[in-house]
């Protein structure tokens, strides 16, 4: 045996394999729990805040329907003054009107998809438009010019959810992921009688904020101009962008004015926020556990050095530098941490695969990539653990060597 | 390695000895040791013989006053400076020997970072000291006397300017002590090294040594 091997034998001579395995397993578990917390936090947040084509800060308001409206034959419309008043509110950044379609539109689906192939769906539709700035879709996708291309639609997310979660299951039909639905093209017939036009339509996105189908403003204006005789009317619904859409002052204002808004949806966004806080707490708990694991890991290495206190001191006394004596422990820490990190990561990846599988079987179509962030966080934590244990053991060896 | 011509103890005293009466010319005094000369420190137990060596070897910081290598105060030296000195400037035969019980006698000698001896030279020295057949045995199976001779070979197996011997013959019979002493003197003369030994009572074996009473 050469000198280095002899030194190693002296420094690790009193190592107990069982304790080593426990220490590495504990560290692996700690890292795994922390990484899982981070991964879940990321993934769940992503699922909860699934991108709405109308952003989170948008509110849709309308006027309460009363008997008077029934008699007058139309919904309550927002006057110029009322819009100005809303614009003056500090809580509101931007305001836009819903333009309703006044022409006849029907949709004809002729796509082949599984058991639905061969069927032809035909349905009349009601379309609306909001100013393009309120729709959170790439500009190139959300545009339409006469005689040019496909009409993009944003449809209420509830429709597809109802189909996937209730209808498909009960009727033994396949669930349709949102992504696949976006690939389906269908025909849109606009106009009546002899004056009709057939266009191609496709779904560009989904929104929880609306209960009608949105099209680009340019398309709606085109339809209203060419296929209806009705004159321009005041809007019955407005879309607002608010800094804090759930602020009590704003709610109070709407109530006083007799405006209605989609409160359910806003409550859901509050619930989402709460859930995110809970997931963050889980990740924090993971960090706490990993800190405990760190403590155990450092203590194990220190105990190992302490068991060889005589050897460390004597080796220093006969001329070994303290760095010669703590480096083997450092190397040992690196190997153990690497093993713990690799096993923790494998566990994490298995969890990720299982989670994805569960979500796909429930009709969610989201590429989960929280595990990547989780791996990075685990790596950072492992490096931090290495650094702290390196400092601790270095100090320990220097103290013992004296 | 720079030459350390002088070991200078200036008003030095270990803190644990502050309350005991001091009589000799070491503690709280002004003592200079010269490289190439041989000294034996004689005192009863508890007067600080080992501490005297340990101060210069860098093992203790709990003392008042100063110790100098030539003109430089050793308080300015770092742990790793001392580690370097222990490889090629100071060699120390510890009173408690400081061997590793789980390693063989040969491994203990080879493990010394300053060791320059080949296995053949170690066997030759072990032969002279009567422990050649013990080299491949673990140290914990050796008698104290055998261990002391192994520790001596380890101490003599490295270059040094100063050799510290803390009661080096405490476990040896007269014959082996004589052989050990002649090996020590031979090596020290070859290296022009200083020797500082400590001794409890009978100093008859230290014939040409300058006696220092603690």
Taking only the tens place, the pLDDT of each residue in A152-161 is 888 887 777 7
> Contacts of residue B83 in chain A, CB cutoff 8 Å?
316, 319-322
Per-residue pLDDT, A220: 83
pLDDT tens figures, A309-329 = 999 999 999 999 999 999 999
Q: Is B13 within the bounds of a domain?
A: yes
Q: For each of chain B's 214 residues, which pLDDT tens digit applies?
A: 789 999 999 999 999 999 888 888 899 999 999 999 999 999 988 889 999 999 999 999 999 999 999 999 999 999 999 999 999 999 999 999 999 999 999 999 999 999 999 999 999 999 999 999 999 999 999 999 999 999 999 999 999 999 999 999 999 999 999 999 999 999 999 999 999 999 998 889 999 999 998 8
Q: Is B202 within the bounds of a domain?
A: yes
CA atoms of A126 and A86, how far apart (whole Å): 27
Instruction: Enter the pTM of the model.
Output: 0.69
Q: Is B41 within the bounds of a domain?
A: yes
Q: Do A311 and B94 touch (CB under 8 A)?
A: no
Q: Do A314 and B100 touch (CB under 8 A)?
A: yes
Contact A309/B at CB under 8 A: no
Look at A203 and A165; give whichever has higher pLDDT: A203
Q: Is B194 within the bounds of a domain?
A: yes
Burial-class residue B176 by CB neighbours within 10 Å (0-12, 13-18, 19+). Answer: buried
Q: Is B1 within the bounds of a domain?
A: no
Look at A3 and A86; give whichever has higher pLDDT: A86
CB B166 within 8 Å of CB B198: yes
Structural domain boundaries, residue B110 = 6-213
- Name the domain count of chain B: 1
- CA-nearest of A47, A53, A56, A43 to A265 is A56
Q: Is the pLDDT of residue A384 over 70?
A: yes
Q: Is B66 within the bounds of a domain?
A: yes
Q: What is the ipTM of this complex?
A: 0.96
Contact A1/B at CB under 8 A: yes
State the helix-helix crossing angle for B119-129 and B174-191, rounded to 10 degrees. 140
Residues of B contacting chain A (CB within 8 angstroms)? 57, 59, 79-80, 83-84, 86-87, 92, 94, 98, 100, 102-103, 107, 110-114, 154, 158
Identify the CATH number of the domain in which residue B91 sits: 3.40.50.300
**Could you tell me the pLDDT band of residue A112, with boundaries at 50, 70 and 90?**
low
Q: Is B182 within the bounds of a domain?
A: yes
Q: Is B26 within the bounds of a domain?
A: yes
Q: Do A3 and B111 touch (CB under 8 A)?
A: yes
| E strand spans, A12-64 | 58-63
**Could you tell me the pLDDT band of residue A267, with boundaries at 50, 70 and 90?**
low
- State the DSSP H helix or E strand holding residue A124, giving kind and residue range, or none if neither: strand A121-125
**Could you tell me the pLDDT band of residue A367, with boundaries at 50, 70 and 90?**
confident
Q: How many CB atoms lie within 10 A of CB A391?
A: 11
Name the token pair of A49: 């805040």
Q: How many CB atoms lie within 10 A of CB A338?
A: 13
**Could you tell me the pLDDT band of residue A335, with boundaries at 50, 70 and 90?**
very high
End-to-end CA distance of chain B: 31
């Amino acid at each position: 045996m050469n000198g280095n091997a002899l030194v190693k034998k002296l420094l690790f001579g009193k190592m107990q394999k069982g304790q080593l395995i426990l220490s590495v397993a504990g560290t692996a578990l700690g890292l795994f729990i922390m990484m899982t917390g981070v991964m879940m936090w990321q993934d769940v947040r992503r699922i909860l805040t699934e991108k709405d084509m109308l952003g989170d800060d948008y509110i849709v308001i309308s006027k309460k329907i009363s008997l008077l409206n029934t008699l007058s034959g139309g919904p309550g419309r927002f006057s110029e003054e009322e819009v100005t008043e809303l614009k003056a509110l500090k809580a509101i950044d931007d305001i836009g009107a819903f333009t309703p379609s006044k022409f006849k539109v029907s949709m004809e689906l002729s796509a082949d998809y599984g058991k639905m192939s061969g069927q032809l769906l035909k349905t009349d539709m009601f379309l609306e438009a909001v100013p393009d700035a309120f729709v959170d879709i790439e500009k190139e996708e959300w545009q339409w010019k006469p005689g040019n291309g496909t009409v993009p639609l944003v449809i209420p997310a509830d429709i597809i959810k109802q189909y996937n979660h209730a209808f498909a299951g009960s009727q033994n039909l396949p669930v349709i992921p949102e992504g696949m639905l976006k690939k389906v093209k269908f025909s849109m017939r606009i106009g009546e009688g002899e004056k009709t036009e057939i266009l191609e339509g496709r779904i560009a996105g989904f929104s929880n904020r609306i209960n009608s189908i949105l099209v680009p403003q340019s398309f709606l204006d085109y339809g209203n101009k060419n296929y209806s005789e009705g004159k321009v009317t005041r809007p019955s619904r407005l879309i607002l962008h608010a800094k804090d859409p759930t602020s009590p002052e704003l709610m109070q204002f709407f109530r006083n004015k007799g405006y209605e808004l989609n409160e359910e949806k806003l409550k859901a966004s509050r619930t989402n926020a709460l859930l995110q806080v809970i997931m963050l707490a889980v990740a924090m708990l993971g960090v706490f556990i990993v800190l405990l694991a760190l403590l155990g890991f450092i203590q194990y290495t220190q105990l190992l050095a302490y068991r060889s206190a005589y050897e460390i001191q004597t080796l220093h006394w006969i001329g070994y530098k303290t760095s010669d004596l703590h480096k083997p422990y450092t190397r040992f820490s690196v190997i153990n941490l690497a093993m713990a990190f690799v096993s923790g990561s494998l566990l994490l990846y298995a969890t990720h695969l299982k989670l994805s599988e569960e979500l796909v079987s429930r009709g969610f179509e989201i590429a989960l990539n929280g595990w990547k962030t989780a791996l990075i966080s685990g790596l950072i934590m492992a490096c931090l653990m290495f650094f702290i244990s390196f400092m601790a053991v270095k100090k320990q060896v220097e103290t013992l060597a004296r | 390695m720079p030459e350390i011509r002088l070991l200078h103890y200036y008003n030095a005293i270990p803190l644990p000895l502050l309350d005991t009466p001091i009589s000799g010319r070491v503690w709280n005094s002004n003592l200079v040791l010269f490289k190439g000369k041989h000294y034996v420190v004689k005192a009863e137990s508890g007067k600080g013989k080992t501490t005297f060596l340990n101060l210069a070897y860098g093992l203790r910081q709990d003392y008042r006053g100063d110790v100098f290598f030539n003109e430089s105060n050793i308080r300015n030296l770092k742990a790793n400076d001392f580690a370097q000195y222990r490889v090629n400037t100071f060699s120390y035969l510890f009173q408690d020997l400081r061997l590793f019980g789980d390693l063989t006698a040969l491994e203990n000698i080879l493990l010394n970072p300053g060791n320059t001896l080949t296995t053949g030279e170690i066997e030759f020295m072990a032969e002279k000291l009567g422990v050649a057949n013990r080299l491949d045995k673990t140290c914990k199976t050796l008698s104290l006397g055998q261990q002391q001779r192994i520790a001596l070979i380890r101490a003599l197996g490295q270059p040094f300017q100063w050799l510290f011997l803390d009661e080096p013959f405490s476990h040896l019979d007269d014959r082996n002590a004589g052989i050990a002493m002649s090996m020590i003197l031979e090596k020290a003369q070859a290296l022009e090294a200083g020797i500082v030994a400590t001794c409890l009572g009978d100093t008859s074996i230290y014939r040409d040594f300058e006696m220092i009473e603690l």
